[in-house]
Amino acid sequence: MFKPCGPLAGQISVPGDKSISHRALIFSALAVGRSRITGLLEGEDVLATADALRAMGARIEKNDDVWTVHGVGVGGLMQPDQALDMGNSGTSTRLLMGLIASHAISATFVGDASLTKRPMGRVIEPLSAMGADIQARETADHKSCLPLTVRGICPAIPLEYRLPVASAQVKSAILLAGLNTPGITRIIEPVLTRDHSETMLRGFGARIMVETDAEGSRVISLTGEAELQPQRIKVPGDPSSAAFLVVAALIVPGSDIIIENIGINPTRSGLFGILQEMGGDISFLKRRTVGGEPVADIQVRHSALVGVDVPADIAPSMIDEFPILFVAAALASGQTTTSGLHELRVKESDRLSQMAKGLSLLGVVLTEKDDGLVIEGSGGAALSGGRGKAVIETALDHRIAMSFAVAGLATRSGLSIDDIKPVETSFPGFDNLLASLASR
């Protein structure tokens, strides 16, 4: 049961960034020699990536808080004996498909009920153009889904590819395939998405160039066959996890918290700007750069929020944060509109529909459009929570679970969530951390 509490207070940190953690493990596994990673997210998604890399020959160990990866070198991956179980993780699946595509090995990918419904055509298309043979299950609505088998090819054919959908996973899959491909692999990105792969590849010593063309698209050119040098990596706290606590502090009266060491890369931090525009009292303290990534401590105080129109072009920089933004919008005064969010329908769940269903159960007035929600805020008045009877369905989606855990703090008498377990994929310890802020 998630129910109203007193003011949130205290100084805390959240687990490591999920996107950066996946990439830290994968690039380390491709370096020649031993890399050291601290701050790695030990959530199920990242552990699925680690297990898959182990199955392909990388030695990965953990001692205290330090992860050590003995890389096999680009081109050195071995044939896994068994299917790779990706659990709930789309990022693991799509990035590792790219990695395997340009190695002379094959692998079958399986996953849970949520991952098995997600579209993989977006990576199959460019990786097939590079020469990989990929056989996927075809669904009645013409989606290529898990289980699927990638038969890689070496040497693969370098590709020039314009991303048809704004996706850092697709971009990174192609970059990973390009690492073991002779010549230049080029990606044209009309809409900027998270750039952790580019930053980290540069740090590992790959020859990667990023330019802007005449139309304003980003052009990323990677020279294969790359040699990666082992690194020491400090993973910052995940802004996508911090987001839940930021909104919790904004909506619970009297709250004042500091969340330490959070990545504030502009390709990820769209939510914080929108919340500030809504009147949220959010400050960035001790700004610094760690491993090429901008980081700060974030102070958040309870604020009266007002509704806003969220422009569609900001979506990629807060793509995982819309569920929790909808909770903030439900408590703001006035209307919040969102658009351009088709991608939310193919995340761990259909997030537009799951959020619309759950918020409606709490008495929130909203309209579900094809590509967004329009929400009439309560002006800070407590949500109904169905008098404690509302049971929210999370559909195996960690961010739906955490969004409603936070919404529960602003209900009259609490709400229940059918399955809190998915939170383990990205934010182990979430409920204890939230409870600890409430009890200080």
Part in contact with ligand S3P (CB under 6 A); list of ranges 105-113, 164-172, 230-238, 406-414:
164-172
H-helix or E-strand containing 169?
helix 168-179
d(CA 206, CA 100): 18
For ligand S3P, the binding residue among 21, 92, 114, 172 (CB under 6 A) is 172
Per CB under 6 A, does 88 bind ligand S3P?
no
Give the nearer residue to ligand S3P in terms of CB position, either 172 or 241: 172
Q: Report in angstroms how near the CB of residue 121 gets to ligand S3P at its nearest.
A: 12
From residue 99, how far is each of 72, 78, 113, 171, 273 by CA, in Å? 13, 12, 24, 12, 34
Torsion of CA 129, 176, 20, 136, to 10 degrees: 40
Q: Report in angstroms how near the CB of residue 271 gets to ligand S3P at its nearest.
A: 13
In one-letter notation, the amino acid at residue 188 is I
Per CB under 6 A, does 189 bind ligand S3P?
no
Do 156 and 131 touch, CB atoms closer than 8 A? Answer: yes
For ligand S3P, the binding residue among 200, 243, 310, 319 (CB under 6 A) is 319
Q: Which residue has the tokens 């590509």?
A: 371
Give the nearer residue to ligand S3P in terms of CB position, either 120 or 247: 120
Number of residues that bind ligand S3P (CB under 6 A): 9
Q: Report in angstroms how near the CB of residue 197 gets to ligand S3P at its nearest.
A: 8
Per CB under 6 A, does 269 bind ligand S3P?
no
d(CA 329, CA 102): 45
Part in contact with ligand S3P (CB under 6 A); list of ranges 1-9, 61-69, 152-160, 168-176:
168-176
Write out the catalytic residue numbers: 320
Residues 6+ apart with CB under 8 A from 299: 256, 257, 258, 282, 283, 285
Residue 73, helix vs strand vs coil: coil
Six-digit token string for 23 = 């990439």
For ligand S3P, the binding residue among 21, 28, 169, 185 (CB under 6 A) is 169
- Render 206-231 in DSSP notation, one character per residue: -EEEEEE-TTS-EEEEEEESP-BPP-
In one-letter notation, the amino acid at residue 100 is I
Per CB under 6 A, does 320 bind ligand S3P?
yes
For ligand S3P, the binding residue among 91, 114, 231, 265 (CB under 6 A) is 91
Part in contact with ligand S3P (CB under 6 A); list of ranges 162-170, 175-183, 276-284, 361-369:
162-170
In one-letter notation, the amino acid at residue 372 is G
Q: Report in angstroms how near the CB of residue 346 gets to ligand S3P at its nearest.
A: 8
Q: Which residues bind ligand S3P (CB under 6 A)?
A: 19, 91, 167-169, 172, 194, 319-320
